[in-house]
Amino acid sequence: MLPVRPLPAYLVQRYHGWKATTFAENRAWYKRLAEEGQRPRAMVITCCDSRVHATSIFGADQGEFFIHRNIANLVPPYAPDGDHHGTSAAVEYAVTALKVAHVIVMGHSRCGGVQGCHDMCSGNAPELEKATSFVGRWMDILRPGYERVAGREGVEDALTELEHEAVRVSLENLMSFPFVAQAVEAGDLTLHGAWHEIGSGELHVLDAETGCFVPV
Amino acid sequence: MLPVRPLPAYLVQRYHGWKATTFAENRAWYKRLAEEGQRPRAMVITCCDSRVHATSIFGADQGEFFIHRNIANLVPPYAPDGDHHGTSAAVEYAVTALKVAHVIVMGHSRCGGVQGCHDMCSGNAPELEKATSFVGRWMDILRPGYERVAGREGVEDALTELEHEAVRVSLENLMSFPFVAQAVEAGDLTLHGAWHEIGSGELHVLDAETGCFVPV
Amino acid sequence: MLPVRPLPAYLVQRYHGWKATTFAENRAWYKRLAEEGQRPRAMVITCCDSRVHATSIFGADQGEFFIHRNIANLVPPYAPDGDHHGTSAAVEYAVTALKVAHVIVMGHSRCGGVQGCHDMCSGNAPELEKATSFVGRWMDILRPGYERVAGREGVEDALTELEHEAVRVSLENLMSFPFVAQAVEAGDLTLHGAWHEIGSGELHVLDAETGCFVPV
Amino acid sequence: MLPVRPLPAYLVQRYHGWKATTFAENRAWYKRLAEEGQRPRAMVITCCDSRVHATSIFGADQGEFFIHRNIANLVPPYAPDGDHHGTSAAVEYAVTALKVAHVIVMGHSRCGGVQGCHDMCSGNAPELEKATSFVGRWMDILRPGYERVAGREGVEDALTELEHEAVRVSLENLMSFPFVAQAVEAGDLTLHGAWHEIGSGELHVLDAETGCFVPV
């Protein structure tokens, strides 16, 4: 027997509120979405962090974004080795089955995963270096980004730079997936990098020319 | 040089709208969230599907839910093998670092991933059986659920049953993580299973006594 | 010996029901709230009136709102004279210790305190004018609001206008507290005015541009 | 012009949910409550603390409880000196105008106000001793309770004892109001003391015989 509990009452109450308002006002659309399937325009890859709501920031409603959220919005390199790869599966499904037109990787400030990566790579978090640390092994994906920041001169804010690298590394890894590269080359898909500052509400986007993040 | 493009203009426009309204009304809270860090009450594991917005359904705002989204809201079994495990990393971070009080696994109707799993397991999707299929290998997690549904008599709607199994399998796998089992036993964490029907807007929750999903 | 009595049985029974359901589903969260302390996002100042439940109206659960309730949701002017000031203490604690992001003053229709103020100021309630009347002396805080309504032309519903003034006067008085004004100016706090109509369930909010209450 | 902002969007959304469900299901009752006025059975005096919801714990709905909430659920001594006394006004209104049948004073564990009082009285919080500290001057009400705890032998948990004293002092002060004492003597009013432990969910009530708090 699974040790599950009923849903907390406050969530049940809020759900009923949603059902009676948002759902009721949009039931025809939700019915179509159910019957005809989703047709999202974009995939968004963003962090699990509770402070980051891509749908709120982009005013998106049901049906618009196919959203994958993981720690530090990372995409691992292409590795078709037969293992479970949740992020790669999400990318494959979005690009080959749903044929989304955009993939947006959005990082954010004060990212706990990026902080952990920084601590680990700089030798200050031995517990994350253990083989059994899921967070540590996941953040290994960002090690190439850490090396780049470490080798850069005049870095003022290493954590922000590393958050930016998390977006760049993910975009580079995305391009290592043959079906992504092909779709980009065929003009069927565009990639976008963004970074959100939680406290100030600012949104910065990755500029292809300069390779830098600039405010929109 | 990364082949990135500027953010689509309609998203930039919506972002500016968010900044001038929602952000402006809540800037003090977002500033505190940035400075003091997040303290989410619950982790929600749900599907990437664009039709499923847990935050909308539960009226949750920035800071309330730590959200992991992957294909078919699956949690793989505990496997500390040193590989990249995005879902396991998210669970580890939520339970051990953030110490969330609830983990809610929420499945949904018309799930493309579950449909794929059903096709694959019933021999109708050979392309998903390839070692190189990320979606196929990810949906392998649900094979035990498929076997249970296949062995059950009088199944009227095999896909819905399999969507329910996706929640049960994930909850079972969650309990295979030592830190999850310990937190549950210590009364520091409660687990919850839910399933959302997109077209009708209904929400069903997993009942511990009967093992069935019942409308709230 | 204090002349106390056991709690009425119907309340004991309801409490046991709460313990077995709502508490059981949320024990991990309540335990964390106990151990780590509260971190409410907002302070709500509302009336003691039994018909006004801010937590119900706003779907808020334990931990979300720091709530002060007094007669007619009034905030007195800043007066650091060494006397007991319960409302000022609550505001001071919320803003300086808890650092809430919002203070919401919510008035309501058919407010007995506001009615008493109107009767008193218009000479129809001599008993409230006595120095020994706690309600009368408390409602003195709203006298400037009464004067404004009395001096206005074309007032159709003086009581509703005075209920609105109770919110405005409280917000004005809030701004007379140096720590409130500083937090507002620093962007660490936003103030909000609202008025709830009990019978129709409507919610009106104070608009900064026009100074009027408008339905949400 | 008041520096007010629109209500945060998530609260507006939750409000609409409440309106469409809880309100819609009870509109006839709320209409009667609006037209005929409130007739609450009890007054509850409890803390502003966001973790204490008397209505949730006691399953109370609109119209049942007249609720005053201040820091540390304190009632000051009777002092008809013509100043603003918010708590005394609430008590006066409840007992003489609404004629409630019960006044319940409910304290709670981990009370920040009580902690502050303890720090102040033991010489560890000089900032609370300033004349300009509203929290300090408000917590002066509890000084007699601190003295009693300090003079008691074998005190294991001074803070919990002081939280209990906050209830006892308030009940004693309540009896100093002539209209309260008269109503109690006439059998028109009963007083009750309670203390709620946030983490364990326990509820203790003050026993008249022993003067101790015992679990219900």
Q: How far apart are the CA of D26 and the nearest CA of chain B, in angstroms?
A: 20
On whether the CB atoms of residues D89 and D177 are closer than 8 A, the answer is no
Ligand-binding site membership of C48 (annotated)? no
Helix (H, G, I), strand (E, B) or coil at B138: helix
d(CA D20, CA D17): 5
Burial D38-62 (b: 16+ CB within 10 A, else e): bebbbbbbbbbbbbbbbbbbbbbeb
| Confidence at residue D1, expressed as pLDDT on a 0 to 100 scale | 78
Give the dihedral sign, CA B140/B145/B148/B153: negative
Q: Which part of chain A has CATH 3.40.1050.10?
A: 38-215
Cβ of B188 within 8 Å of Cβ of C28? The answer is yes
From D84, D91, D139, select the one nearest C77 (Cα to Cα): D84
| Confidence at residue A1, expressed as pLDDT on a 0 to 100 scale | 78
Residues in C touching A5 (Cβ below 8 Å): 24-25
Q: Which of B3, B22, B50 sits opposite A65 (nearest CB)?
A: B50
Cβ of C21 within 8 Å of Cβ of A6? The answer is yes
Give B121-179 pLDDT, tens digit per residue. Answer: 999 999 999 999 999 999 999 999 999 999 999 999 999 999 999 999 999 999 999 99
The mean pLDDT value for D53-69 works out to 95
Cβ of A7 within 8 Å of Cβ of C21? The answer is no
Residue of chain D nearest C71, judged by CA positions: D90
| Confidence at residue D33, expressed as pLDDT on a 0 to 100 scale | 95
CB neighbours (10 Å) of residue A187? 7
Torsion angle, CA of B164/B167/B173/B179, rounded to 10 degrees?
Answer: -150
3-state helix, strand, coil in chain D (%, to 5): 50, 15, 35
Residue of chain D nearest C197, judged by CA positions: D34
Residues in B touching C28 (Cβ below 8 Å): 101-102, 183, 187-190
The mean pLDDT value for D78-90 works out to 96
Cβ of A8 within 8 Å of Cβ of C59? The answer is no
CB neighbours (10 Å) of residue C178? 11
Amino acid identity at C134: F
d(CA C133, CA C135): 5
Amino acid identity at B62: Q
Residue of chain A nearest B75, judged by CA positions: A86
From D94, D101, D70, D118, select the one nearest D191 (Cα to Cα): D101
Question: Per CB distance under 8 Å, which residues of D are interface residues toward B?
Answer: 5-10, 13-14, 17
The mean pLDDT value for C50-76 works out to 96
Helix (H, G, I), strand (E, B) or coil at C47: strand
d(CA C120, CA C137): 10
Calculate what percentage of chain C has a pLDDT beyond 70.
Answer: 100
Which pair of structure tokens corresponds to residue C126? 């001599």
The mean pLDDT value for A155-159 works out to 94
Contacts of D93 (CB under 8 A, 6+ apart): C48, C71, C112, C113, C135, D66
Q: Which of A22, A30, A90 sits opposite B70 (nearest CB)?
A: A90
Q: How far apart are the CA of A1 and the nearest CA of chain B, in angstroms?
A: 7
| Separation in Å, CA A160 to CA A112, A156, B111 | 12, 9, 37
Contacts of B201 (CB under 8 A, 6+ apart): A19, A23, A27, A30
In the DSSP assignment, the letter for residue B202 is -
Q: What is the mean pLDDT of chain C?
A: 96
d(CA A143, CA A116): 11
| Confidence at residue A152, expressed as pLDDT on a 0 to 100 scale | 93
Q: How far apart are the CA of C156 and the nearest CA of chain B, in angstroms?
A: 32
From D122, D113, D124, D203, select the one nearest D163 (Cα to Cα): D113
Identify the H or E element spanning D56: helix D54-57
Measured at the CA of B189, the angle between CA B183 and CA B192, to 5 degrees, comes to: 130
From B77, D102, B19, select the one nearest A204 (Cα to Cα): B19
Binding positions of A for Zn(2+) are: 47, 49, 108, 111
| Separation in Å, CA B128 to CA B120, B138, C38, C91, D169 | 6, 10, 49, 61, 72
Cα–chain center distance at D189: 17
Which pair of structure tokens corresponds to residue A109? 């400030």
Residues in B touching A94 (Cβ below 8 Å): 48
Amino acid identity at D184: V
Q: CA neighbours within 13 Å on the CB side: how many for B133?
A: 18
Residues in C touching A9 (Cβ below 8 Å): 21-22, 25
Residue of chain D nearest C59, judged by CA positions: D14
| Confidence at residue A138, expressed as pLDDT on a 0 to 100 scale | 98
Give D144-163 pLDDT, tens digit per residue. Answer: 999 999 999 999 999 999 99
Residues in A touching D20 (Cβ below 8 Å): 17, 20-21, 24
Give CATH for domain B38-215.
3.40.1050.10
* Spatial strand order in the sheet of C65-70: C213-215, C203-206, C190-196, C102-108, C42-47, C65-70, D65-70, D42-47, D102-108, D190-196, D203-206, D213-215
Which pair of structure tokens corresponds to residue D66? 């007249």
Give C15-58 pLDDT, tens digit per residue. Answer: 999 999 999 999 999 999 999 999 999 999 999 999 999 999 99
Q: Which of B21, B24, B61 sits opposite D10 (nearest CB)?
A: B61
Identify the H or E element spanning B206: strand B203-206
Q: What sections of chain C are H helices per DSSP?
A: 9-18, 24-36, 54-57, 86-92, 112-121, 126-129, 134-139, 143-150, 158-175, 178-185
Neighbors of chain C by Cβ distance (3+ pairs < 8 Å):
A, B, D
Q: Which of C19, C81, C140 sits opposite D201 (nearest CB)?
A: C19
Residues in C touching D184 (Cβ below 8 Å): 3
Residues in A touching D13 (Cβ below 8 Å): 21-22
C175 has a pLDDT exceeding 90: yes
C113 has a pLDDT exceeding 90: yes
**Backbone φ/ψ region at C207: left (φ over 0), alpha (ψ -120 to 50), beta:** beta
Residue of chain C nearest D180, judged by CA positions: C3
Q: What is the mean pLDDT of chain A?
A: 96
Residues in C touching D36 (Cβ below 8 Å): none
From A21, A164, A189, A22, select the one nearest A100 (Cα to Cα): A189
Calculate what percentage of chain A has a pLDDT beyond 90.
Answer: 99
Residue C1 confidence class, pLDDT cut points 50, 70, 90: confident
Residue C114 confidence class, pLDDT cut points 50, 70, 90: very high
d(CA C59, CA D19): 11
Ligand-binding site membership of C84 (annotated)? no
Q: Which of B83, B102, B208 sits opposite A8 (nearest CB)?
A: B102
Give A128-141 pLDDT, tens digit per residue. Answer: 999 999 999 999 99
Contacts of B20 (CB under 8 A, 6+ apart): none
Strand partners, D102: D42, D190
- State the complex-level ipTM: 0.97
Q: What sections of C4-157 are H helices per DSSP?
A: 9-18, 24-36, 54-57, 86-92, 112-121, 126-129, 134-139, 143-150
Residue of chain B nearest D18, judged by CA positions: B59
Give A36-51 pLDDT, tens digit per residue. Answer: 999 999 999 999 999 9
CB neighbours (10 Å) of residue A24? 12
| Confidence at residue D124, expressed as pLDDT on a 0 to 100 scale | 97
Give C189-201 pLDDT, tens digit per residue. Answer: 999 999 999 999 9
Q: CA neighbours within 13 Å on the CB side: how many for B71?
A: 29
Per-residue confidence in pLDDT tens, chain B, 216 aa:
789 999 999 999 999 999 999 999 999 999 999 999 999 999 999 999 999 999 999 999 999 999 999 999 999 999 999 999 999 999 999 999 999 999 999 999 999 999 999 999 999 999 999 999 999 999 999 999 999 999 999 999 999 999 999 999 999 999 999 999 999 999 999 999 999 999 999 999 999 999 999 999
Amino acid identity at B126: P
Beta strands in D48-155 (DSSP E): 65-70, 102-108
- D39-215 fold: Beta-carbonic Anhydrase; Chain A (3.40.1050)
Strands C42-47 and B213-215: unpaired
From C161, C176, C190, select the one nearest C41 (Cα to Cα): C190
3-state secondary structure chain A: CCCECCCCHHHHHHHHHHHHHHHHHHHHHHHHHHHHCCCCCEEEEEECCCCCCHHHHCCCCCCCEEEEEEHHHCCCCCCCCCCCCHHHHHHHHHHHHCCCCEEEEEEECCCHHHHHHHHHHCCCCHHHHCCCCHHHHHHHHHHHHHHHHHCCCCCCCHHHHHHHHHHHHHHHHHHCCHHHHHHHHCCCCEEEEEEECCCCCCEEEECCCCCCEEEC
| Confidence at residue D135, expressed as pLDDT on a 0 to 100 scale | 98
Q: Which of B25, B29, B59 sits opposite C41 (nearest CB)?
A: B29
φ, ψ of residue C158 in degrees (nearest 5): -60, -35
Cβ of B189 within 8 Å of Cβ of C28? The answer is yes
Residues in D touching B26 (Cβ below 8 Å): 8
On whether the CB atoms of residues D170 and D74 are closer than 8 A, the answer is yes
Ligand-binding site membership of C117 (annotated)? no
Q: Which of B5, B112, B138 sits opposite A190 (nearest CB)?
A: B5
D95 has a pLDDT exceeding 80: yes
On whether the CB atoms of residues C103 and C54 are closer than 8 A, the answer is no
Q: What is the mean pLDDT of chain D?
A: 96
d(CA B186, CA C102): 35
Ligand-binding site membership of C83 (annotated)? no
First vs last C-alpha separation in chain D: 51
Q: Which part of chain D has CATH 3.40.1050.10?
A: 39-215
On whether the CB atoms of residues D194 and D105 are closer than 8 A, the answer is yes
Which pair of structure tokens corresponds to residue B31? 């500033």
| Confidence at residue B1, expressed as pLDDT on a 0 to 100 scale | 77
